[in-house]
Amino acid sequence: MPDYTGRFAPSPTGPLHFGSLLTAVAGWCDARAAGGRWLVRIEDVDEVRTRPGASDDILRTLDAFGLTHDGEVRVQSRCKARYQAALEQLQRQGDVFWCRCTRSDLARFGQSVYPGLCRLHTSPLNNAAVRLRVPAPCPQHFPDRVLGEQREDVAAVTGDFVIRRRDGFFAYQLAVVVDDAEQGVTHIVRGADLLDNTCRQIYLQQRLGYSTPDYAHIPLIVNAKGEKLSKQTGALGLDAAHAGKLIWLALDLLGQSPDAALARETPTVILTEAVRRWQITRVPSGLQLPADKRVPVDDAYNH
Ligand SMILES: [Zn+2]
């Protein structure tokens, strides 16, 4: 195994937009600067949200932007047996229970922490979610390469969390942790919208006997209202005809100060130079980065 294996893990809910490009460029440069591998994984574990054709569209965009990946693309919807095996391991360890609480049942407790109501249901029940038992306290911490030291008591923030949903789909938390371990991922570079999942994922890694990767959370591009770029907030898909300019803009926002003259080059030339000069410590260390006028959004957003 190489010393560095990174990954980019988009959800196929629509085309890539500038916010996802920012994360992809950061992860790609970080992996290549370390001489490492960069994998791509399609996170379609939530099949309800998957849009037909979106995966192919994302892969074509990465290709057009020169963001080359290594190895086969892993697709979560084809890995359910792996998630099931992990769930069974947790069950053998006495780490899980089945829960039929509805949202309104839980709302009566008036807090976001699961109150442990179903902890005695340690044998499978139909039409029930599977939750991971979280002991109290459950202090976790990790050194984020962009944001610095992060701490959370998982018991105080979420408590016992869902690893397989009531509708039968595996939860994002379980799928990601199994995927990263099986793909040998050592370094995770992803958007800061996922920061508050990290301590739960670290606890899950510990229960499954996996090692914990290094994390770097990249600030989210937000509009004037502080909303993350998405189709809903008017982010356009990425036009391959402007690939070089958009990569240059991403590097500029990532604090890498690319030479102005590079903006007219091809993506490959720009990325090669970016890898040579890449320093993740120069990425702005905030959760949000206000979009500037150069970020591609549609008219509804600009007005
Ligand atoms: Zn319950």
43 is an annotated ligand-binding site residue: yes
Please spell the DSSP secondary structure of 1-61, one letter per residue. Answer: --S-EEEE---SSS--BHHHHHHHHHHHHHHHHTT-EEEEEE---STTT--TTHHHHHHHH
Percentage of the chain exceeding pLDDT 90: 79
**pLDDT tens for each residue of 137-174:** 999 999 999 999 999 999 999 999 999 999 999 999 99
Instruction: Cite the DSSP H helix spans in 103-197.
Output: 103-107, 154-157, 172-182
Domain 5-77+219-302 and domain 80-175, same fold? Reply is yes
Q: Is the pLDDT of residue 300 over 60?
A: no
How far is Cα 45 from Cα 51, in angstroms, rounded to an integer? 12
Q: Output the CA 155–ligand 1 centroid distance in Å.
A: 15
Say which residues have a Cβ less than 8 Å from residue 148's Cβ, sequence separation at least 6: 285
How many helices (H) and strands (E) the chain has is answered by 10, 12
Q: Does an H or E element contain 239, and which?
A: none
Q: For 194-239, how does the pLDDT look when each residue is reduced to its tens digit (9 = 90+)?
A: 999 999 999 999 999 999 999 999 999 887 777 877 766 667 778 8
Confirm or deny that 8 is annotated as ligand binding: yes
How many alpha carbons lie under 13 Å from residue 281 in its C-beta half-sphere? 0
At which residue do the structure tokens 């932007």 appear? 65
How close is the Cα of 102 to the center of ligand 1, in Å? Answer: 8
> Domain 5-77+219-302 class?
alpha beta
> Is the distance from CB of 250 to CB of 263 less than 8 angstroms?
no
CATH homologous superfamily, domain 80-175: HUPs (3.40.50.620)
Winning range, highest mean pLDDT, from 15-24, 47-56, 83-92, 287-296: 83-92
Distance 115 CA to ligand 1 centre (A): 8
Is 151 annotated as belonging to a binding site? no
**Hey, what are 80's tokens?**
């359910």
206 Cα: distance to centroid of ligand 1 (angstroms): 23
Residues with beta carbon < 5 A to ion ligand 1?
A: 99, 101, 117-118
118 a known binding residue? yes
Confidence of residue 111 (pLDDT cuts 50, 70, 90): confident
Q: Which of 235, 254, 255, 238 is nearest to 246 (CA)?
A: 238
Which tokens belong to 290? 């206000």
The amino acid occupying position 30 is D
Rounded to the nearest angstrom, the distance between the alpha carbon of 134 and the centre of ligand 1 is 13
Domain borders along the chain are 5-77+219-302, 80-175
Q: What is the mean pLDDT of residues 50-72?
A: 96
What is the pLDDT averaged over residues 13-21? 91
Rounded mean pLDDT of the chain? 92
* pLDDT tens, position by position, 229-255: 776 666 777 889 999 999 999 999 999
